[in-house]
């Protein structure tokens, strides 16, 4: 199956700094990428949907100025957590949907990035 | 997007068949049903997807009744490594829509 990678897998930062997380589709082109956040023992929460070359669409309650998403190419999307605070500590997961998808809405998920803000 | 309801948790023993049922009463005509598996600190992994009747692959079967208001994921002969959270999702096929995760079912397989 298609492979999606994330980098870094873990990051620890100080409060007030910004952190960038990369999501790459390794063997396919992804017209659409999704960013999720997951707190301990909870389900995944969709944060935003990004389409290559256009602005991301954010879910209600997600601050677009705090979580900057860039989808500049068909294989790369980045999520930047600006001015991170301890409450932003979470597991961030991206997924990608391939171009030319037929009837199915299959998404391929990355391995996740564990962010800890001190 | 259709809301899904699953049992919060299930227990099983190695070698047993496990059936996890998901309710999605307001599923739309063009919605597909997809199941994902997630281990701690990992991204979800696709298990199986279907639209109606029965779908089978090398790891699971998916049973969907005619009214499509529910679906059952069947895992044959589970092992300890099948201990994970299983999510049932319904959503649009093709280039539209996104996947909204419900609470999932935590399956615990015991020796």
B103 touches chain A (CB under 8 A): yes
Mean pLDDT over each residue of chain B, to the nearest integer = 91
How confident is the model at residue B99, as a pLDDT? Answer: 74
Q: Tell me the per-residue pLDDT of A66-118, one tens digit each, with 9 for 90 and over.
A: 999 998 888 999 999 999 999 999 999 999 987 655 555 578 899 999 999 99
Instruction: Evaluate the CA torsion angle B12, A40, A71, B100 in order and state its sign.
Output: positive
Q: Using DSSP, how many helices (H) and how many strands (E) does chain B show?
A: 0, 9
How confident is the model at residue A53, as a pLDDT? Answer: 81
Contacts of B95 in chain A (CB under 8 A): 31-32, 97, 101
How confident is the model at residue B102, as a pLDDT? Answer: 85
Label residue A11 by pLDDT band (50, 70, 90).
very high
Judge contact between A108 and A4, C-beta under 8 A.
yes
How confident is the model at residue B96, as a pLDDT? Answer: 52
Q: Tell me the per-residue pLDDT of B28-81, one tens digit each, with 9 for 90 and over.
A: 888 889 999 999 999 999 999 999 999 999 999 999 999 999 999 999 999 999
Examine the pLDDT at A54 and tell me if it is beyond 90. Answer: no
Q: What is the mean pLDDT of residues A50-70?
A: 91
- Which of A36, A97, A104 lies at the smallest CB-CB distance from B49? A104
How confident is the model at residue B93, as a pLDDT? Answer: 52
Label residue A60 by pLDDT band (50, 70, 90).
very high
A61 touches chain B (CB under 8 A): no
CB proximity under 8 Å: A 64-103 to B: 91, 93, 95, 97, 101-103
How confident is the model at residue A55, as a pLDDT? Answer: 87
Query: Closest residue of B to A57, CA-based?
Result: B98
Q: How many CB atoms lie within 10 A of CB A105?
A: 23
Examine the pLDDT at B95 and tell me if it is beyond 70. Answer: no
Chain A, chain B: beta-carbon pairs less than 8 Å apart: 66
Residue B100: alpha-carbon gap to chain centroid: 13
Mutation choice for B interface testing from A28, A42, A44, A102 by most B CBs within 10 A: A44
Contacts of B42 in chain A (CB under 8 A): 111-112
**DSSP-assigned states of every residue in A26-47:** SSS-EEEEEEEEE-TTS--EEE
Chain A: closest CA distance from residue B27 (Å): 15
How confident is the model at residue B98, as a pLDDT? Answer: 63
């Amino acid at each position: 199956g298609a492979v999606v990678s994330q980098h870094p897998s873990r990051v620890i930062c100080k409060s007030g700094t910004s952190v960038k997380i990369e999501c790459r589709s390794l063997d396919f082109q992804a017209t659409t990428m999704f960013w999720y956040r997951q707190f301990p023992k909870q389900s995944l929460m969709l944060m935003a949907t990004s389409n290559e070359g256009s602005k991301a669409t954010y879910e209600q309650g997600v601050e677009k100025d705090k979580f900057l998403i860039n989808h500049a190419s068909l294989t790369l999307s980045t999520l930047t957590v600006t001015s991170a605070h301890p409450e932003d500590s979470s597991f961030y997961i991206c997924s990608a949907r391939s171009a030319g998808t037929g009837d199915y809405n299959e998404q391929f998920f990355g391995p996740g990035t564990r962010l800890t803000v001190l | 997007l259709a809301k899904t309801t699953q049992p919060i948790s299930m227990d099983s023993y190695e070698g047993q068949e496990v059936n996890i049922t998901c309710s999605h009463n307001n599923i739309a005509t063009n919605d597909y049903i997809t199941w994902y598996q997630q281990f701690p600190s990992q991204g979800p992994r696709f298990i199986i997807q279907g639209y109606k009747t029965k779908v089978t692959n090398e790891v699971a079967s998916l049973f969907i009744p005619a009214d499509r208001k529910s679906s059952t994921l069947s895992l044959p002969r589970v092992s300890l490594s099948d201990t994970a959270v299983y999510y049932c999702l319904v959503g649009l096929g093709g280039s539209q829509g996104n996947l909204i995760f419900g609470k999932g079912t935590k399956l615990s397989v015991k020796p």
